[in-house]
Amino acid sequence: MANGIRSTLEWLECSLCKAAFDVDEVQTLCDRCFGVLLPRYGLEEAARTLTRKALRDRECSMWRYRELLPWVNEPVTLVEGMTPLLPARFLGQSLGLDRLFIKDESRNPTGSFKARGMSTAVTMARDLGVRRLILPSAGNAGGAAAAYGALAGLSVELYLPVETPDPFRLEAAALGASVHLVDGSIADCGARVRAEAGERFDLSTLREPYRLEGKKTMGFELVEQFDWDLPEVVVYPTGGGTGLIGMWKAFDELERLDLIPAGKRPRMIAVQAERCAPIVKAFLEGRKRAEAWPEPVTYADGLRVPSAVGDYLILAAVRESGGVALTVSDQEMADSQLAMARGEGIFPAPEGGATLAALKKLVERDLVDRGERIVLFNTGTGLKYPRIPGLKLP
Ligand SMILES: Cc1ncc(COP(=O)(O)O)c(C=O)c1O
Ligand SMILES: [Zn+2]
């Protein structure tokens, strides 16, 4: 990549037993304890070139943070990231909040924040010699994997829940992926992938260590967009939790680089669907790990995740940040999806609607203050979901 700047990726660290793993070969979970592996960088080296000043002249994509991203030869990119942070004045006013923002991830390639993670994951897979990819998806990750796979010339095989709406299936097929439908949730899709992967490389959330790195750039961008400051509250729709864990990791790296002051991180709010809320349940019960949710039901496909391999990382980040985990019903999500669309002109995914529905509860419970900077994550476009409960197709 330009200017002789390289990735300072050095090794992978098991988030549980701290064992170290090599970045020169493909990796999955820790082979000793099944912990999630976290990429670690040479921060001293990164600090030499990744400065506030240097960033002013960098490209308008998440690859502007290239010292702290995983790549070897050249990123596989469709220009993802640097999504707008939009002031939500109307919604803010109606909730009595002065500084409400929406980070609009629907502007990414393939219409969701999943593009970020697939850009880094496919980059590393290709650079490490992988030719064939396989993954379970609720829809958005599949579309993104199909797109980046196509760009990199890798084959992509997807396992989607049979309930996945048509537009996701069409998108993946159009982009050349092979699509298999599974009677069950994304957990059942994951089990099928593990049974059938063979020689194919499994890109499942957090079982593959580099999707997280793309997602963490949402945290870097927030800091830049708030002019090297941090918002007080981040509201994030949590399925597998990669976005939330990634942003927490980003804040950690920026603190270590002295690019932000210590102790100023936002309260991280994890939002789940009322009928699929393993993380919220564990949060409320004071547990470190979550139990699998028996019958996950929600029209927000990205939140229909009954168990997350990174459950302990999500719970730790939420607690450390002083945040909370809470649920919203499908109807609350739908009403808020429309409120965001009609109030701010953004047609959000149901998951984006969920963040606004959760914010209403935070306001009611006095868990946010009027003057705080609050960021709702609209993680994807509403265009791929064919129904909104309560809204009739005209
Ligand atoms: C639109 C959307 N929002 C949120 C999520 C949940 O993402 P995470 O794994 O970061 O919790 C997904 C996952 O499929 C999604 O598609
Ligand atoms: Zn381990």
Residue 3 pLDDT: 64
Start-to-end CA span in the chain (Å): 49
How far is residue 272's CA from residue 240's CA, in Å, rounded to a whole number? 11
CATH 3.40.50.1100 domain locations along the chain: 85-110+210-384, 114-202
Spatial CB neighbours of 197, under 8 Å, sequence gap ≥ 6: 134
Tell me: pLDDT of 392 over 60. Answer: yes
Rg, Å, the chain Cα set: 19
Segment 342-368 shows an average pLDDT of 98
Nearest atom of ligand 1 to the alpha carbon of 141? 14
Q: Is the CB of 246 under 6 A from ligand 1?
A: no
How far is residue 291's CA from residue 314's CA, in Å, rounded to a whole number? 14
Tokens 């002051």 -> residue: 261
Q: Is the CB of 204 under 6 A from ligand 1?
A: no
Q: Is the CB of 348 under 6 A from ligand 1?
A: no
Tell me: pLDDT of 270 over 60. Answer: yes
pLDDT digits (tens, 9 = 90+) for 308-333: 999 999 999 999 999 999 999 999 99
Residue 4: pLDDT band by 50, 70, 90 thresholds? confident
To 10 degrees, the CA torsion angle through 101, 211, 245, 165?
60
Segment 250-275 shows an average pLDDT of 97
Segment 294-305 shows an average pLDDT of 95
Per CATH, the number for 85-110+210-384 is 3.40.50.1100
Q: What is the mean pLDDT of the chain?
A: 97
Spatial CB neighbours of 393, under 8 Å, sequence gap ≥ 6: none
pLDDT digits (tens, 9 = 90+) for 201-230: 999 999 999 999 999 999 999 999 999 999
Q: Give the ligand whose atoms come closest to the C-alpha of residue 13.
A: 2
For 114-202, the fitting CATH number among 3.40.50.1100, 3.30.2420.10, 3.90.870.10, 3.20.20.70 is 3.40.50.1100
How far is residue 96's CA from residue 117's CA, in Å, rounded to a whole number? 35
Give the angle subtended at the CA of 243 by the CAs of 242 and 248, to the nearest 5°: 95
Best mutation site among 105, 114, 333, 385 for ligand 1, i.e. most ligand atoms within 8 A of its Cβ?
A: 114
Q: Is the CB of 35 under 6 A from ligand 1?
A: no
One-letter amino acid of 318: V
pLDDT digits (tens, 9 = 90+) for 356-381: 999 999 999 999 999 999 999 999 99
- Backbone angles phi and psi of 12, in degrees to 5: -115, 135
For ligand 2, the distance from its centroid to the CA atom of residue 206, given in whole angstroms, is 13
Tell me: pLDDT of 1 over 90. Answer: no
Q: Give the ligand whose atoms come closest to the C-alpha of residue 14.
A: 2
Nearest atom of ligand 1 to the alpha carbon of 137? 14
Q: Which residue puts its alpha carbon closest to atom 2 of ligand 1?
A: 302
